[in-house]
């Protein structure tokens, strides 16, 4: 069990954010929620290779939500008030919160909810009715979809935490501790035996050959002693060279175009090479397969002029073509492939593709697809905001299935916590405030020409911007044309500058998402090919993540899935 199981890692990284948010909604406390989820995943890791082939969801669900409810009840009995961060749920008991999360957020049946929480069906029904009565200031939610949207909106600030490695290592540590105790007991017994033997022989003053000086036990040499010889030295981390603009903005210069392959490798769980020429599995030949449904990325392959099929990428580089889905290119100028960085749903089980007049939603687990009609023939994007779908064009933004709370169309805007765009010739930042009357904030250099999207992991944000001639402002790079500006957890702004020492593609540097450790991933289209690179906004170091072999039939467009946060 020394190396972490790839299926376990994929499952945990696909589910950990939703589990953390569900536990937080019940406990009202980030630290307690994380502890509950980590404990459940550690139990799962301990049993992983002995579980039946069925999904481990039931195992994890019961432990997370039952323990969350018990923790919240303990907090209430201790006289501590509910978290002020969840005003939506103030007044609800721990049981009512747990039932609401299972029924509305996870979509579980009454029977499944009763089994998970070890309650009777009448108690579950009673708790759900009471919770719905108190939700939204005493007004019952009109539908499960609306209730789910309210809960996901309330928990959207809960940040994803990497738990797969921690859970697996805790199991290894526990097993190591057990082995250590067994060995220690054996040593103690042996020492006792030696002592008895020595007492019978009388005091010994001569050294006994073959006996360890550390343990004093024959045949046991150096147990527990720290070994210093033969250890592999740990290399010091590389350092980035930071510069500062006249405006006080700190920045680093990205690696020279064409040198991506020579950068140190960053292990994010995705394959080092995405090779579309390798054999593909086909959706038309497969039955739904549970855990294998969790993909790490999705890209598109051309099947004729303006026709595309999606391809799901797994962490080991395997490819799964959703050949049961045929997509049309977008009617933009110039035409674009129908894929956006927000393609994956929050739980990573569904993928959305914009189409003229609708959005095609694919359930990756069942390989089934359905279309959600949108009253616009010129959709420019589609994606997920939390657990619900949004789509938009120049005409406006639609949130199907959530009317009247989310009337359509809204003013033109895209999903995400913040967005840079051009409005009446001025670059502005829209923080997407809940206040509908709030106006976008005008911004200046270097954010004059936003490119692509803004991605966040709830505490960090990043966007790409183009620089026009004369806008370099003395940046120490060769003819810089593109920059990425990121806002760190502490609110500091950092910039990654792309010099044109070798020609890059005009859209060379699209931001894609964040790793659970906090590195920003971006797509670099350079003379050496298309690369996914990782930038640590704290240290400034840039790594290579994977080489994406694009071509005339495989455009340099990709969306990240199970292991990553896009937000």
* pLDDT tens readout for residues 194-234: 444 444 444 433 333 333 333 333 333 333 333 333 333 33
- 294 with 10: CB under 8 angstroms? yes
Residue-wise DSSP of 481-545: -EEEEEE-TTS-EEEEEE--SS---TT-EEEEEEETTSPEEEEEEETTEEEEEEE-TTT--EEEE
pLDDT in tens, 317-369: 889 899 989 999 887 777 789 999 999 987 788 899 999 889 999 987 778 88
pLDDT in tens, 310-323: 999 988 888 989 99
The predicted pLDDT at position 373 comes to 87
Residue 99 reports pLDDT greater than 90: yes
- Cα separation, 414 vs 430, whole angstroms: 10
- 525 with 504: CB under 8 angstroms? yes
- Cα separation, 432 vs 442, whole angstroms: 14
Residue 398 reports pLDDT greater than 90: no
Of 209 and 49, the structure prediction assigns the larger pLDDT to 49
Cβ within 8 Å of residue 323, ≥6 positions away:
282, 283, 284, 309
Name, of 151-165, 282-296, 462-476, the range with top average pLDDT. Answer: 462-476
Residue-wise DSSP of 347-392: TSSEEEEEETTEEEEEETTTTEEEEEE-S-TT--EEEEETTEEEEE
What three-state secondary structure class fits 19?
A: helix
Averaged confidence pLDDT in the chain: 79
- 465 with 483: CB under 8 angstroms? yes
User: Average of pLDDT values for 496-515?
Assistant: 85
Q: Maximum CA pair distance of the chain?
A: 99
The predicted pLDDT at position 474 comes to 85
Picking from 533, 564, 355, the residue whose alpha carbon sits closest to that of residue 455 is: 564
pLDDT in tens, 16-46: 888 999 999 999 888 889 889 999 999 998 8
CA dihedral sign, ordered 508, 512, 514, 515: negative
The predicted pLDDT at position 406 comes to 44
The predicted pLDDT at position 195 comes to 47
User: For the ranges 168-177, 230-239, 268-277, 362-371, which has the lowest average pLDDT?
Assistant: 230-239
The predicted pLDDT at position 563 comes to 84
pLDDT band, residue 178 (cuts 50/70/90): very low
User: Average of pLDDT values for 243-264?
Assistant: 90
The predicted pLDDT at position 175 comes to 62
Give me the residue label for tokens 């064009």. 393
% of residues, the chain, pLDDT over 90: 30
The predicted pLDDT at position 337 comes to 92
The predicted pLDDT at position 274 comes to 95
Name the DSSP class of 105.
Answer: I
User: For the ranges 137-146, 206-215, 429-438, 524-533, which has the lowest average pLDDT?
Assistant: 206-215
Q: Give the domain 243-565 fold.
A: Neuraminidase (2.120.10)
What the block records as the tokens of 245 is 């603009």
What three-state secondary structure class fits 278?
A: coil
pLDDT band, residue 139 (cuts 50/70/90): low
- Cα separation, 565 vs 559, whole angstroms: 11
The predicted pLDDT at position 17 comes to 87
| Strand-pair category, 520-526 with 529-535 | antiparallel
Please give the C-alpha separations between residue 269 and each of 195, 306, 314, 543, 548, in angstroms, as whole numbers: 53, 32, 9, 14, 15
The hierarchical CATH code for the domain 1-219 is 1.20.140.160
Picking from 197, 221, 225, 156, the residue whose alpha carbon sits closest to that of residue 434 is: 156
The predicted pLDDT at position 215 comes to 31
- 47 with 58: CB under 8 angstroms? no
Cβ within 8 Å of residue 66, ≥6 positions away:
98, 116, 117, 118
- 294 with 274: CB under 8 angstroms? no
- Cα separation, 440 vs 444, whole angstroms: 13
pLDDT band, residue 485 (cuts 50/70/90): very high
What are the structural domain ranges in the chain? 1-219, 243-565
Of 141 and 11, the structure prediction assigns the larger pLDDT to 11
Describe the crossing of helices 57-77 and 110-117 by its angle, rounded to 10 degrees.
60
- Cα separation, 242 vs 501, whole angstroms: 19
Of 143 and 190, the structure prediction assigns the larger pLDDT to 143
Q: Would you call 188 exposed, middle or buried from its count of C-beta atoms within 10 A (0-12, 13-18, 19+)?
A: exposed
The predicted pLDDT at position 227 comes to 33
- Cα separation, 149 vs 5, whole angstroms: 34
The predicted pLDDT at position 29 comes to 85
Q: Structure pTM?
A: 0.63
Cβ within 8 Å of residue 346, ≥6 positions away:
17, 18, 152, 384, 386, 387
Residue 14 reports pLDDT greater than 60: yes
The predicted pLDDT at position 223 comes to 32
How many other CB atoms are found less than 10 A from the CB of residue 155? 24
H helices, E strands: number in the chain:
8, 27
- 377 with 356: CB under 8 angstroms? yes
Tally of CA atoms within 13 A in the half-sphere of 447 that contains its CB: 25
Of 214 and 101, the structure prediction assigns the larger pLDDT to 101
């Amino acid at each position: 069990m020394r190396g972490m199981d790839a299926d376990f890692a994929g499952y945990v990284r696909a589910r950990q954010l939703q589990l953390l948010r569900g536990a937080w909604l019940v406990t009202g406390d980030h630290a307690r929620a994380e502890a509950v989820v980590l404990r459940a995943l550690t139990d799962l890791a301990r049993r992983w290779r002995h579980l039946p082939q069925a999904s481990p969801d039931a195992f994890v669900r019961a432990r997370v939500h039952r323990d969350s409810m018990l923790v919240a009840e303990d907090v209430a009995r201790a006289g501590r008030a509910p978290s002020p961060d969840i005003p939506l749920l103030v007044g609800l008991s721990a049981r009512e919160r747990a039932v609401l999360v299972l029924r509305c957020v996870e979509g579980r049946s009454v029977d499944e909810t009763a089994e998970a929480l070890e309650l009777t069906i009448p108690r579950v029904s009673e708790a759900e009715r009471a919770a719905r009565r108190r939700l939204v200031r005493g007004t019952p939610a009109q539908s499960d979809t609306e209730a789910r949207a309210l809960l996901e909106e309330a928990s959207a600030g809960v940040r994803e935490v990497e738990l797969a490695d921690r859970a697996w290592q805790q199991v290894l540590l526990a097993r190591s501790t057990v082995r250590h105790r067994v060995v220690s007991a054996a040593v103690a017994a042996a020492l006792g035996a030696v002592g008895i033997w020595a007492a019978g022989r009388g005091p010994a003053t001569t050294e006994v050959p073959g006996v360890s000086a550390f343990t004093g036990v024959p045949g046991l040499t150096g147990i527990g002693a720290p070994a210093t010889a033969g250890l592999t030295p740990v290399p010091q981390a590389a350092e980035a060279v930071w510069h500062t603009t006249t405006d006080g903005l700190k920045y680093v210069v990205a690696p020279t175009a064409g040198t991506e392959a020579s950068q140190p490798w960053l292990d994010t769980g995705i394959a080092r090479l995405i090779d579309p020429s390798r054999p593909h599995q086909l959706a038309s030949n497969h039955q739904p397969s549970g855990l294998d449904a969790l993909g790490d990325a999705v890209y598109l392959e051309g099947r004729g002029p303006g026709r595309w099929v999606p391809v799901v990428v797994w962490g080991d580089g395997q490819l799964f073509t959703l050949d049961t889905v045929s997509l049309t290119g977008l009617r933009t100028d110039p035409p674009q492939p129908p894929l956006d960085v927000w393609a994956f749903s929050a739980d990573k089980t569904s993928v959305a593709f914009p189409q003229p007049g609708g959005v095609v939603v694919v359930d990756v687990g069942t390989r089934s697809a359905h279309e959600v009609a949108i009253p616009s023939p010129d959709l420019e994007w589609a994606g997920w905001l939390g657990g619900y779908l949004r789509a938009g064009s120049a005409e406006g933004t639609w949130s199907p299935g959530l009317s009247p709370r989310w009337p359509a169309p809204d003013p033109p805007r895209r999903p995400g916590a913040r967005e840079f765009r051009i409005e009446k010739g001025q670059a502005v930042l829209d923080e997407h405030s809940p206040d509908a009357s709030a106006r976008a904030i005008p911004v200046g250099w270097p954010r004059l020409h936003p490119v692509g999207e803004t991605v966040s992991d709830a505490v960090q944000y990043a966007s790409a911007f183009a620089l026009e001639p004369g806008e370099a402002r003395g940046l120490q790079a060769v003819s810089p044309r593109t920059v990425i500006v990121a806002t760190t957890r502490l609110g500091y702004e950092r910039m990654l500058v792309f010099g044109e020492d070798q020609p890059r593609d005009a859209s060379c540097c699209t931001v894609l998402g964040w790793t659970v450790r906090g590195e920003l991933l971006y797509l670099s289209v350079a003379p050496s090919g298309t690369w996914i690179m990782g930038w640590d906004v704290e240290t400034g170091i840039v790594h290579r993540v994977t080489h994406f072999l694009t071509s005339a039939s495989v455009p340099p467009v990709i969306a990240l899935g199970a292991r990553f946060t896009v937000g």
